[in-house]
Chain A
Amino acid sequence: MSKGRIPHWADVTLVPLTSVLLAFVISAILIWAIGESPWAAVKLMVEGAFGSSYGWGYTLFYATNFIFTGLAVAVAFQARLFNIGGEGQALLGGLGVALVCLYIPWPHWSLALIAASLGAAVFGAAWAFIPGYLQARRGSHIVITTIMFNFIAASLLGYFLVNVLRPQGAQDPSSPRFPAETALPKLHEILGVFGIPFSTVPPVNISLLVAVGMCFAVWFMLWRTRLGYQIRAFGESEPAAEYAGISPARITIYVMLISGALAGLMAVNSVMGEQQRLVLNAVEGAGFIGIAVALMGRNHPFGVFLAAMLFGFLYQGGAELALWTGIPRELIVVIQALVILFTGALDNMVRIPIARLFAMRGAR
């Protein structure tokens, strides 16, 4: 990568912004090609996502999911481990949340939140531990094992929902509703304390604050602790890290545990905060969106936060677009895919010209 030639500020702002812009330009051409007005579409998306506290609520709700899964991928990537098992880890996290909420009577949501977060993190971490262990001790490639574990997680969850958690006679393979005491306070209740009015409809809840807290925690862990230093050193060069006395196996397993725990925490938002019960396919691709979020956020917690907001906007704005125009849902998926394509796969297409630009300026 020609990273050295681009100033840091440009690397973290100019490159992703240009990529997003390019993705939007092509999306606009596509919308125009199917006979809709791109300008009206953009307006509808922005208004739908940010034009009201209702829109903000949904945008933030989706963003919360993507912060967790994005952080999970970002942490693993700091050690150059490509954890694409966020989907399965979050599913297992959901199982942890459900077990904690269903089988232990909680007097207050705050205790339930702490316990459910622990449950989600432990289950997610345990699911990431196995691929981590296999990578560290057996050399099985983490990309292969984590993606396979997504399917195993889906099967395991299907088994639990159909045979264990489903109330007898119920059609729907899902757990019973969690007790009312475990319902997390929604954002409008939190803001209501400060007298700020907010729409009561969207499912955005206190997990948003947990997610933001996790951004800080991950930043602190990576750049202010010994473990974080070891992770980054290991990621930059494995032989150098080993020479410095860092055990590759230990770091691999630790990183995967942290990554899996973060992915699992997503379930606190979606399962406990929104659905209030565990349903089939509770993650809905957020684990995979996390990869795009981490790529776009340059594997930095702050970048992950911003990228998660962008994807939250695409989800909510896209929903409004589907609701009020003739633009089919598939095209919204295409727009999201274009953003992923440009920020992830075609990164160098933007990076190299920008690097040249800076090189020319430097030469002058």
Chain B
Amino acid sequence: MADPLLEFFTQMDMQGSVVVKDAPKFDLDLYIQNYRGRTKFDRLLLIGRSSVKLCVEALKAALAEAKRGRDTQRYREVVEYLRIAAPNDPDAVYDKKWLERQKLANHEETQRLLSELKGYKNNLVKESIRMGNEDLAKHYESIGDLNAASEHYSKMRPDVSTAKHLIDVGKHLVRVAIQKREWNMVFPHLTKMSLGGQYPEEERSSQPFIRVATGIALLGQDKYNEAALAFLDADPAVPSKAYNELASRNDIAVYGGLLALATMDRKELQAMVLENQNFRTFLEPEPHIRRAVTMFVNGRYSACIEILEGYRTDYLLDIYLQKHVSKIYAKIRSKCVVQYLIPFSCVSLDTLEKAFGSPERPIEEELAGMIEEEVLEAKIDGIERLVNTVKIDPRAQMQASALVSAENYEKQAIERLRRMAIAAADLELMPTKKQGLHHQLGGDLAFGDQEIVMG
């Protein structure tokens, strides 16, 4: 069994997907129970493609999930993977009968819903048209035709009559946009979901969905800080059923916690994560995130990194986090180093090596990189092996900036006067009849490349 797996992951590696060798800490069955809808399959497939340890198990679960649904394309895809990863598995064969039957059923259902919708349209009953569109769009979504789905979900909008309808349209469209990974399309749909405080009940129940969708879309666009704020703001009182087509409660804790760690300073973390009553509820099932944040706030940076490293595998298997894990971790790490150095004027490289060092990359290089990128204000003493933090002298800074602005002012003043004079003397370059490099150098003048002497 080892060989086909090896081959499978070599292929995955070549396709550029992430391959995770270590076993994650979560239990696959329990994990996937947290979700509802199409995201279940997506998540299982991602784990199947990425995790060496869970590969077959996840793919088989995905296969079962696909077979429970109506999306034949998904079924083909997962069987294709399974045939490479575990060719001897009894599931790794096409169930042609099921495929044919399902295809036919899908087709018939589409036709039925289309003709129904036509009938509703003829009767001009708004509510029926809306429902007809919704049924059709849901059907399209379930068979994997996302474009048609979002088209028909949009067509529901003219016929909405209650606040709940409006929220539903928004939810459908956002869900489809996230499945298509069209992050910028998520925001317009979300804005249309806001009701302006007229229907507090509906707004309250859709709040976490909107926050989570905003967060996921911002995360997809690398806007970590804004994403963190979105997750931190989610309302825990609403049951997870309202948003678990996108993410689970645990996910909110993990996304929010990690992104906050990557972008906020200690004070903000204390106030917005640890003392945030709402978010604490989310953190309960993920105590290690709370521990990591607490460690960071208490200045125990290496412990914080250690905890996070322990869960790196888990996060690499998350559908939205996977791409960002290394970036987020690098940010947290460099923040830890920066924070670690703050109380000291001087730290020996060896101490730092002990606290943060990794066998792959000596801490000195990492520090040099951070200083160059201006993440860290420090100087390395390569001889005594020390890191001296640079104390910013506000006076010197002010003086330097005063000089710069004074000099700029002078330069600009001269430049403006000169330009006015040129304009007044009609000396600007003018278009000649034949556009081109119209001025040749004077014949008597050859700008030689004289040897440059020392001045």
The answer to whether A and B belong to the same complex is no
| Residues of chain B whose beta carbon lies under 8 Å from any beta carbon of chain A | none
